[in-house]
Amino acid sequence: MFSLHPAILYGIPLLSLFWLFHLRSARSRRSLDAIPAVGSTSPILYYIEAFRFLTRSDSVLQEGYNKYKGGLFRIPRFDGWRVYVTTPELVEEIRKAPDDVLSFAEATNNEIQITYTLGKNVHENGYHVPIIRSQLTRNLAVLFPTIRDEIVAAFNDIIPKEAEKDWVEVSAMQSIMQVICRASNRVFVGLPKCRDPAYIKLNTSFTLDVVFGAVIINLFPDFLRPLAGRLFTNLDKSIQRGINHLKPIIEERRKQRQEYGLDYEGKPNDMLSWFMDEADANESTIENLTRRILTVNFAAIHTSSTSFTQALYNLASRPEYIAPLREEINAVVAEHGWTKTAMQKMRKLDSFMKESQRFEGLGATSMSRLALKDFVFSDGTFVPEGTILAVASGPLHHDGAVYPHGSNFDGFRFANIREEEGEGTRHQMVATTAVYVSFGHGRHACPGRFFAANELKTMMAHIVSSYDVKFADGMLPVNTYFATACVPDRKAKVLFRKRQD
Ligand code: HEM
Ligand SMILES: *[C@@H]1O[C@H](CO)[C@@H](O)[C@H](O)[C@H]1NC(C)=O
Ligand SMILES: *[C@@H]1O[C@H](CO)[C@@H](O)[C@H](O)[C@H]1NC(C)=O
Ligand SMILES: CC(=O)N[C@H]1CO[C@H](CO)[C@@H](O)[C@@H]1O
């Protein structure tokens, strides 16, 4: 190890920030003239506004939405103007644009610097996406008992035994991340690795390494980024730790394949096996398989944990939902047992989870796309090549014209619609639309959402059928925003007690 003089440590990123900002914004400022800006377009105020967005993205977006509803608006970000759309029609136009015009992959790469964080191979080859979308989803019924087993075991380990008799405090966010990491990795890499505390720690911290690493790498001009990635982030170390965990497992499975053939008896039915089945020669190396497993964890753990924490906070601060949910869960389980089918029949539960995502969700925006070519919306709005566009999903999801009383939490909103309209699937949690973009919409809509919805509903059904939950003061904890990411209160404690009736 060596240490850098602080002047260099902070000086280089600051200088490059300045450099980057001037080039990028000078390039894009001219041609975005037709799109109205939130805040001032003068250079100094630009910075102030960009700073404000770091912690107040929800209100800045709401301000833009209120003023320019029906069209588009732009907001200063440190790396240039960002353009946001406000209507379902414009969302549809983003959805329909081909990948070589509005690119999901390049927007993501810009945001999290995939090449230097998750790995070059992950950016260039997305073979995990169809495996998640089809293989994982197809196997949900078969894997259901396994997933539920891990969920029940994890909650039993985390919620203290005293909860049998009395209310006990549980640190919600940390505990939930633990449960989700175990349940997801039961399906990604199997037992016993999914319960290894060091592996769990790696998976929960890896996401932060990527996110903070990307913020730092983003401060540098392109040619310094590989160096910045190595000097200023933990990523190399994290990948190496991942390799140490997975190498023996991969080697053992390779041996079985060589001796007994590709479909050897006892072959685990999990993500790692599917990856090993589908990977080409480059992707079959231990390092690249490890990067792929870490990538799936990156996509799955914090997203699901955020969503579930919000739902749990909503439940604990609104205890009137517990009885009707419990009634539905008991009735459905009595008929279908603990199965994937049962999870699909729990409409009130599905609605509650979906409403939580509508109301809060991962962030204030969704569906980021980088324009690889100039793009013209049907209303004539011109967006030049190089611009990043997104949906102002926070304000859209709260718009009273789209969702009646949109600023109120109504846990059974979607169940009631399904009851009235008498139709099955259009309003369920996993169904994306132009006004429900928590999982995105269209070609790149989250391929893991069927898995996620099943896992989160199974967790919530387990809690509701086994415990009473509440907050000591009855108050709903407050979300904070870091840029567009919505972060639930990480310190809030939920009280749990085994059901007494
Ligand atoms: C509640 C939990 C989750 C939420 C809210 C969520 C949300 C999202 C969103 C908003 C996108 C981008 C869609 C777009 O821009 O159009 C996305 C993409 C993605 N998600 Fe999820 N996600 C969740 C869980 C998961 C899980 C559990 C997995 C894996 C098992 C996963 C894997 C992915 C992948 C691989 C992509 C990229 C798709 C592509 O490259 O086309 N997600 N997710
Ligand atoms: C990983 O994959 C990339 C491209 O898919 C390949 O160039 C590289 O050699 C592989 N890396 C390792 C360490 O196996
Ligand atoms: C493996 O990676 C190398 C270097 O990145 C690339 O040239 C080659 O086409 C890749 N092979 C396959 C089968 O994708
Ligand atoms: C569940 C778990 O082990 N969480 C850990 C994940 O990693 C972060 C950061 O390293 C730790 O603070 C958590 O305790």
319-376 pLDDT, tens per residue? 999 999 999 999 999 999 999 999 999 999 999 999 999 999 999 999 999 999 999 9
Distance CA 91, CA 266 (A): 46
Reported as type and span, the H/E element at residue 77 is strand 72-77
Q: What percentage of the chain carries pLDDT values higher than 90?
A: 78
For residue 305, how far is its CA from the centre of ligand 4 (angstroms)? 13
- Nearest-atom number in ligand 3 for the CA of 121 is 5
The reply to whether ligand 2 has any atom less than 6 angstroms from the CB of 174 is no
Report the CATH number of the 1-124+363-398 domain.
Answer: 3.30.43.20
The reply to whether ligand 4 has any atom less than 6 angstroms from the CB of 204 is yes
Tens of pLDDT, residue by residue over 267-295, are: 999 999 999 999 999 999 999 999 999 99
CA distances from 18 to 14, 15, 113 (A): 6, 5, 19
Distance CA 114, CA 129 (A): 15
Give the pLDDT mean for 63-89.
Answer: 95
Beta bridge partners of 425: none
Q: What is the pLDDT of residue 415?
A: 95
**Six token digits for residue 270:** 């999990």
Give the pLDDT mean for 298-316.
Answer: 97
Ligand 3 site residues (CB inside 6 A) read: 280-282
Give the pLDDT mean for 411-425.
Answer: 85
Q: Give residue 106's identity as a one-letter amino acid code.
A: E
Higher-confidence residue of 1 and 275: namely: 275
Secondary structure letter of residue 375 according to DSSP: E
**Six token digits for residue 459:** 């967790």
Could you tell me which residues come within 8 angstroms of residue 365 by beta carbon, excluding any fewer than 6 positions away? 57, 61, 84, 390, 391, 392, 393, 394, 484
Q: Which of the residue ranges 153-157, 337-341, 481-485 would you say has the lowest mean pLDDT?
A: 481-485
- Nearest-atom number in ligand 1 for the CA of 361 is 5
Q: What is the largest CA-CA distance in the chain?
A: 68
For residue 283, how far is its CA from the centre of ligand 2 (angstroms)? 6
Q: What is the pLDDT of residue 319?
A: 92
For residue 280, how far is its CA from the centre of ligand 3 (angstroms)? 9
Could you tell me which residues come within 8 angstroms of residue 272 by beta carbon, excluding any fewer than 6 positions away? 188, 189, 190, 246, 249, 250, 253, 289, 293
> What backbone torsions phi and psi does residue 388 show, to the nearest 5 degrees?
-100, 130
- Nearest-atom number in ligand 4 for the CA of 181 is 1
Give the pLDDT mean for 226-231.
Answer: 88
Q: What is the pLDDT of residue 29?
A: 52
> Which residue in this structure is represented by tokens 């924490």?
309
Angle at 215 between CA 66 and CA 359, to 5 degrees: 35
> What backbone torsions phi and psi does residue 495 show, to the nearest 5 degrees?
-90, 130
**Six token digits for residue 305:** 């944990």
Q: What is the pLDDT of residue 20?
A: 59
Q: Whose atoms come closest to the Cα of 284: which ligand?
A: 2
CB atoms within 10 A of CB 461: 24
Asked if pLDDT for residue 398 goes beyond 80, the answer is: yes
Give the pLDDT mean for 408-436.
Answer: 90
**Six token digits for residue 23:** 């080039």
Q: What is the pLDDT of residue 39?
A: 81
The reply to whether ligand 1 has any atom less than 6 angstroms from the CB of 346 is no
Angle at 356 between CA 354 and CA 359, to 5 degrees: 110
Residue positions forming the annotated binding site for heme: 446
Angle at 422 between CA 347 and CA 318, to 5 degrees: 35
Whole-number average pLDDT of the chain = 92
Buried (b) or exposed (e) across 464-501, using 16+ Cβ within 10 A?
bebbbbbbeeeebbebebebbbbebbeebbbbbbeeee
**Which residue has the least CA distance to atom 4 on ligand 3?**
282
The reply to whether ligand 2 has any atom less than 6 angstroms from the CB of 121 is yes
> What backbone torsions phi and psi does residue 205 show, to the nearest 5 degrees?
-85, -25
Q: What is the pLDDT of residue 322?
A: 97
Asked if pLDDT for residue 211 goes beyond 90, the answer is: no
Asked if pLDDT for residue 2 goes beyond 50, the answer is: no
Give the pLDDT mean for 37-62.
Answer: 89
> Which residue in this structure is represented by tokens 């070589």?
100
Distance CA 471, CA 317 (A): 6
CA distances from 366 to 164, 167, 363 (A): 41, 38, 7
Give the pLDDT mean for 73-100.
Answer: 95
CB-based contact 249:272 (threshold 8 Å): yes
Give the pLDDT mean for 255-278.
Answer: 97
